[in-house]
Chain A
Amino acid sequence: MAKLERAKSEHPSHAMGWHVQPLKGRSIQAFFSIEDDGENFTYPDAFDVDFNKRAEFDARALDGPAINRKIRQLMSEGYGWIVVRNPLAKHSLGVGILQKLKLDFDGSLGYFGVGLIDGPNVRIKGRVGWSCAENMMSGVVVIEKNAGSTFGAAIRGGDLVCKGDVGARTGIDQKGGSILIGGRTGAFSGFMMQRGRMVVCGDAGKNLGDSMYDGTIFVGGAIQSLGVDAIEAELTALDVAWLTRKLGMYGLEPKNGIRNMTKIVAGKQLWSYDNLEPAEKKLVL
């Protein structure tokens, strides 16, 4: 009986503080001093590598994980420029590199190449499969030929460049960074884009920028169709300056010149802060 009364008045979660601790204003505080702690240019646990120290190895006989381990071992030895010969389109190569590094692949990569990277400068001489540079945080990735679908999926930062054509859903869920495409891009490119910039020098497929929340898409060629809530905007002087500099860095040129590029932004009708019912929202769009 006593137990029952206790259960009524006191829920076990009370002891955990759920009912007394306000959610608002809770924060984890970490203090650091700019003067004492802030003069590093790389992560504290990154390998100290030198761009002038070059190493190369043949990946023909190695599987994916072994190639990645080899790259890591070379970084730990201070090599800042690594060349991988014969990658033979193996999957998930060059992933999870969280520091500065010059990494060259002398061939093509399979699926999920150079994903989850934060810092390296990667050059791929061949083609890449699906989801290249997925979740990329920073750095530069240049692909000399074509790329598959979901190129730069969920990218958050850095420059991702494909000099050829790319497949569908390029930059799906893009949260930052710049995706630069020398050729054409497939359907649903910029789908659910949230931030960042996508530049397509050639034509864009159906439903470009579908359901985009924010960010900017520049297209040099024809756009087959715009997706839901993607609208055209005016090209500004800052846009032109940025495009000229950025495309010049990688030797890319839009079909009809930079000044004739089409700029696509979010119409922001999908921002879910108003009180429209779903049926009403459909009509607005």
Chain B
Amino acid sequence: MATKSKAGAKARAKAKAPARGKAAAAKKAPVRAAVKAAKGRKKEMISAGKTTVDIDHFLKTKGLDTEREKIIGQHIGYRYDVNLLPDYDRLTPFLRTYIETMGWDDLNWLEDVHLGYEDGRPAIFDRNINGWVSMPKGIKLPDNQQDRDMLARELLIKFQMSQKHPLYQLKQIYKKF
């Protein structure tokens, strides 16, 4: 008896299935359109990132490449490749001495430091002050990102280890021990 009722339920479900499928498809149509549009925007963003071959792109422009960026008036995402791994053949003498002083075998935390761009100027993000440090005007930027990153690392170390760094000055005032 139980088997019979199960079979009946299956048949009823099968009969209703096409109608349900059509209704569900109709319901999902606008959502699918939105998804398609989103994927289009994603592709647009990716292609914008890939076509940004000019290393001075963010110095020459505001970085508003996609339609979405133009609408909101700001660049989406980082202005540099955060995943770019360092090329150790381009280490500067200063950085070599720093690594040696600290007793490390490589750049350590500096692997995550890159030259970025803020307000149309080359700048380095300093995590200790949660802000950007602008590159001095007189310094000529190299023509490739790897060398620019090495320069940024050097400048950041010099700034962080300076007595004029805001964190040091704050510590002098508020330190407990």
Contact = CB atoms under 8 A, between A and B. Distances in A.
A44 B168 contact: yes
A158 B127 contact: no
Nearest to A72: B177
A53 B63 CA distance: 52
A239 interface: yes
A157 B112 contact: yes
Contacts of B158: 34, 37-40
The interface residues of chain B, by DSSP majority, are classed as helix
B69 to A, nearest CB: 8
A116 to B, nearest CB: 13
A252 B169 CA distance: 41
A253 to B, nearest CB: 17
B171 interface: yes
Contact residue range for chain B? 35 or more
B83 to A, nearest CB: 6
Contacts of A178: 111
A39 B155 CA distance: 10
Contacts, number: 133
A127 interface: no
Given A41-B102, A271-B76, A276 B38 contact: yes
A158 B103 contact: no
A51 interface: yes
A38 B109 contact: no
B83 A283 contact: no
Interface string A138-151: 11100000000000
A8 B106 CA distance: 63
A15 interface: no
B165 A280 contact: no
B5 interface: no
B53 interface: no
A215 B112 CA distance: 10
Nearest to A136: B109
Contacts of A195: 82-83, 112
Contact of A32 (B38, B104, B131, B162): B162
Interface string B25-54: 000000110110011011001000000000
Contacts of B165: 30, 32, 44
Interface string B59-89: 0000000001000100011100011010110
Contacts of A18: none
A249 interface: yes
B162 A38 contact: yes
18 contacts: A32-B159, A34-B158, A38-B158, A40-B162, A41-B97, A41-B157, A42-B101, A44-B162, A44-B168, A139-B104, A156-B127, A157-B111, A158-B109, A159-B108, A268-B45, A273-B76, A276-B34, A283-B35
Interface of B: 31-32, 34-35, 38-39, 41-42, 45, 68, 72, 76-78, 82-83, 85, 87-88, 97-98, 101-106, 108-112, 127, 131, 136, 155, 157-166, 168, 171-172
Given A39-B158, A45-B171, A249-B105, 9 more contacts: A38-B155, A38-B162, A40-B158, A44-B163, A137-B109, A156-B109, A177-B111, A242-B85, A245-B106
Interface of A: 27-28, 30-32, 34, 37-45, 51, 100, 102, 119, 121, 137-140, 156-159, 176-178, 195-196, 214-216, 238-239, 241-242, 245-246, 249, 265, 268-269, 271, 273-277, 279-280, 283-284
